[in-house]
Structures are given as structure tokens and as C-alpha cells.
Amino acid sequence: METLKITKADLNERNEYARSRDLEFEGHIEIEANLGQVVVLGFIRTAGYLGIAIRSGVEAGGSIEVGWSIEAGLNIKAGGGIKAGGSIAARLSIEAGGGIDASWSIEAGLNIKAGGGIKAGGSIKAGGSIKAGGSIEAAWSIEAGFSVQCKLSISAKRRIFAGLCAWRLPEPEQQVIECAELAQGTVCSGHLKLLPAKKEII
């Protein structure tokens, strides 16, 4: 499988990908190191992996979809959803306007935030907080340095941890596991807070 390498020559003065609005390639895409946050105005789609070297990140106005894994030295941000056939990992944050879906694990050094749901075939792990507008579902465990919050259900086939921050003692409100329903999983760290049930409109 061929590899498309994004360098400084492919960007304009605003660090936007200048070759086209969308970044689409039937292979792997690699972003050169030390470029900072690279912006793609449209979507990013690749059949292979999306590799973003240290001190570089990526931001897409649309969705990000890769056949394999996504790994970034800084942030991963999308106006739409983020979907990977492998894992999704960022040294800093992962943020999506839509859902975040990985066949393997999802991991961020800081926060994970999605306007929709978050789903992983492995673990979901964040050094900061995990927040979703939909459900949070992990085939393994869910681990957060601070709180885990979602509007719908939380499900983990193994254990759920909140407030694991190692560099300072989290405040009580930063150790909350908040959801409408705990569908599956054992809370091993943090305080479970169930949101009030929505009243049915007749």
C-alpha cells in the first residue's frame, strides 16, 4: 500500500492543506513532524492508517475515516465523526462533532469529547475527562483521569474508572461517572450519578 506524505509544502500560511478541500487517498497518509495543527477544510479519508508525527496534529472540517489506525503527536479534531478500523490515539485530545468509533482502542493523553457516541472494540482511556453526547461503549474497560459523562448509557464489559489523575487529587465533581443508565460494567473508581429519566411526552 502506498503512502502519501504531507509536508510544509502542501500547506498554506494558515496551515491548511492547500492541494484540495478534502484529503482522500487509497493508501496510508503520514503528516510530517513539527508542523503543528494541520487543517483540512473538508473530510479526511484513507484506506490505510493516518500517521501524525510528534508535535503535529490534524483538524478536519468534516469527518475523519481511516481503514486502519489514527495516531497523532498532538490533537485529533473533526467537525464530523471520527472512525477507524484500528485504534485512535492522540498525545493530547481527541474531539469530534459527531461520534467516535474505533474497532480497537481509543486513547488520549488529555480529553476525549464527542457530540455523538463513543464506541471502542477495546478500551477507552483518557488522562483527562471523557464526555459524549450519546452513549459510551467499550468492549474492555473505561478509564479517565477525571470524570466520565454521557447523555445516554455507559457500557463496559470489564471495569469503569474515574478520577485516576496521578498528578493531583481530583475534586469530588471531577470523579463522577454520569449517565442515564449504567448498562454494563463495574464501577471501581468514581461516583456513579444517574441522570433523571426523561418524561414521555404524550
The pLDDT of residue 200 is 45
In the chain (202 residues long), the average pLDDT of successive 10-residue segments reads 95 96 96 95 96 93 97 96 97 97 98 98 98 98 98 97 92 95 97 78 46
Neighbouring residues of 131: CB distance < 8 A, sequence distance ≥ 6: 111, 112, 113, 114, 147, 148, 149, 150
Enumerate the β-bridge partners of residue 45.
24, 65
The pLDDT of residue 80 is 97
The pLDDT of residue 115 is 97
Length of the chain: 202
Rounded CA-CA distance 18/36 in Å is 15
Other CB atoms closer than 10 Å to residue 165's CB: what's the count?
16
Neighbouring residues of 107: CB distance < 8 A, sequence distance ≥ 6: 87, 88, 89, 90, 123, 124, 125, 126
Enumerate the β-bridge partners of residue 50.
29, 70
Rounded CA-CA distance 79/42 in Å is 9
Q: Which three three-digit cell numbers place residue 13?
A: 500560511
- 3-class secondary structure, 23: strand
Q: How large is the C-alpha radius of gyration of the chain?
A: 17
Asked whether the whole model's pTM tops 0.85, one would answer yes
